[in-house]
Amino acid sequence: MIRKVFKKKPSGKSKIDAFLEKYKLPKAYLSVNRRMITRGVAIGLFWGFIPMPMQMLAVMASTPFIRFNVPIAISMVWLSNPFTMPPMYYMEYLTGNFLLGREGIDDIEMTVEWFSANIGDIFVPLYVGTAFYSIVVTGFIYVLLNRLWIRSVHSEKHERKTSRKQKKIS
């Protein structure tokens, strides 16, 4: 279903094809198939969960090593934006504390001075939680999207077979 939206291509050479040829970029970076889309989502979420500046550059740095749909990956990184970062990172901090068996800091203040004074207590649990979400949650979402895509393709094939049989009967 969603595959049909992405698969619609105009006939002839498009501006995107000309751009790819001009800069000698592989077509896989804009490819719309199950592998490229699910990899793009996974790479984008992986980097999006990590608290670091310039996550989009990290996505671009991944392109020589893994082929994926780059626009999808960059859009997934945008899920961690200034509005979602505080709850995301707090959730990662709590998860890291839980995994390490630590008690968290009770009196959190949203000041630079407080963070500077407590960075040692925050850093390790935050990145343990980050590793959990970047690896486990991203892996789960990757597998789930693959399964959903495959199920969608199978149901479309089944619907086509059913409609063909009904046309032959009529």
How many structural domains is the chain composed of? 1
- Give a yes or no: residue 58 inside a domain: yes
User: CA 3 to CA 33: how far, in whole Å?
Assistant: 8
Give how far the C-alpha of residue 107 lies from the chain's centroid of Cα atoms, to the nearest Å.
33
Domain that holds residue 23: 2-7+17-169
Please state at what angle helix 85-100 crosses helix 112-132, rounded to 10 degrees. 70
- Residue-wise DSSP of 69-106: -HHHHHHHHTTS-TTTHHHHHHHHHHHHHHHHTPPPPS
pLDDT tens digits, 68-81: 999 999 999 999 88
Stated length of the chain: 170
- Give a yes or no: residue 158 inside a domain: yes
Place of tokens 């479309």: 156
Task: Indicate the pTM of the whole model.
Answer: 0.80
Instruction: Supply the mean pLDDT for the chain.
Output: 86
- Give a yes or no: residue 12 inside a domain: no
